[in-house]
Amino acid sequence: MMKVKIVADPTAGGKAGYELFAAALENNARVFGLATGSTPISTYDEITASNLDFSKCISINLDEYVSLAPTHPQSYHAFMQEHFFDKKPFSKSYVPDGLNPDEQEETARYEKLIAENPIDFQILGLGRNGHIGFNEPGTPFDSITHRVELTQSTIDANARFFDNEKDVPRYAYSMGIGTIMKSKEILIEAYGENKADAVKKMIEEPSTEQVPASVLQQHSNVTVLIDQAAASKLTKKY
C-alpha cells in the first residue's frame, strides 16, 4: 500500500520529508539512498539545517552521468556536495563513478556496494515521464545497476543546466528498478503541475514497465509526498 501525503507546496514537503528521514534514523536506519534533481532540495535543506546526527551513517546515490568528472558543475557529485554533503556530511557518501569507462566493472562494483550496504531509506524524485533514477520507460522492473542511454525527453529536460544541448551527456549509470525496490523504505517526492500526469499513472493506474515509478505499488513501505499541484489529477480521496 502506498501512503499518499499531500502538502501545500515544496516548502511544506521539505518539512514532511525531513520528518520521515528523522523517523527512519530514529528507527536505526543507517544507509540512506539519495536522489538529485530539484525535487528533493527542500527536504535536503531541512535535513542539513537540523541537529540530526547522521555522522555514523552512509549515503548511496542513485545515479551519475557517464563522462562527467566529480568536479564538473553539472555532475551529480557536485550537486550532492553543494546541496547536502558540504552542509552536513555522512561518514561516507557514494555516487557512481561517471569517469569509469568500463561499464561492466562500474555497474558490478556499485551493485555489490548496495548488496553489502542494504539501503534502509531511499529518497526518489519522479521524472515527468514517470522515470525513477535514470530508469526510463520500458526498463525491466527486475533491472540492476546498469548504464542507461538517456531519452531525448530527459536530455531536453536537463539541457537547461548546460550551456548547450550538445553538452548534455548521452549516458548515465543508474541503480536499476530492482535495486531500488530492495530498499526497506522509500520516499518519493513530486511537486508541480508538470508532474501531475506521472503522479496519476504512478498511483492510480495499473503497474506497468512503461511507467517505472508504478513499480512502487508493489513495495510494502512507500510514502508518496506531493503538493496540491502534483496531486491535481488524482481522482481518489487520500
The residues that touch ligand GLP, with contacts defined as CB under 6 A, are 35-39, 62-63, 125-127, 133-134, 154
Nearest to residue 216, comparing CAs of 135, 152, 153, 103? 135
Is 63 noted as a catalytic residue in this protein?
yes
28 is catalytic: no
* C-alpha span between 189 and 143 (Å, rounded): 22
Catalytic status, residue 221? no
For ligand GLP, which is the closer residue by CB, 27 or 159? 159
Q: Which residues pair with 3 in a beta bridge?
A: 223
C-beta atoms surrounding 204 within 10 Å: 14
Least distance between ligand GLP and beta carbon 55 (Å): 26
Minimum CB distance to ligand GLP smaller for 31 or for 168? 168
Q: Is 83 a catalytic residue?
A: no
Catalytic residue among 46, 97, 106, 129: 129
Least gap, CB of 206 to ligand GLP (angstroms): 22
Q: Give whichever of 125 and 169 is closer to ligand GLP, judged by the CB atom.
A: 125
Task: Give the span between the Cα atoms of 197 and 199, in whole angstroms.
Answer: 5
Shortest spacing between CB 96 and ligand GLP, in angstroms: 11
Q: Which member of 106, 136, 189, 227 is catalytic?
A: 136
Helix residue ranges, H only, the chain: 10-26, 41-49, 76-80, 103-116, 152-158, 177-181, 196-204
CA distance 24 to 45: 17
Nearer to ligand GLP (CB atom), residue 39 or residue 85: 39
Q: Are strands 92-94 and 185-190 parallel, antiparallel or unpaired?
A: unpaired
Residues 6+ apart with CB under 8 A from 216: 2, 132, 186, 188, 202, 222, 224
Please state the length of the chain.
Answer: 238
Closest distance of CB 125 from ligand GLP, Å: 3
Of the residues 45, 46, 61, 63, which is catalytic? 63
Q: CB of residue 38 vs ligand GLP: minimum separation in angstroms?
A: 4
Indicate which residue of 77, 131, 146, 219 is catalytic: 131
Of the pair 38, 221, the CB lying nearest ligand GLP is at: 38
Up-side HSE of residue 10: CA atoms within 13 Å toward CB? 15
Catalytic residues: 63, 129, 131, 136
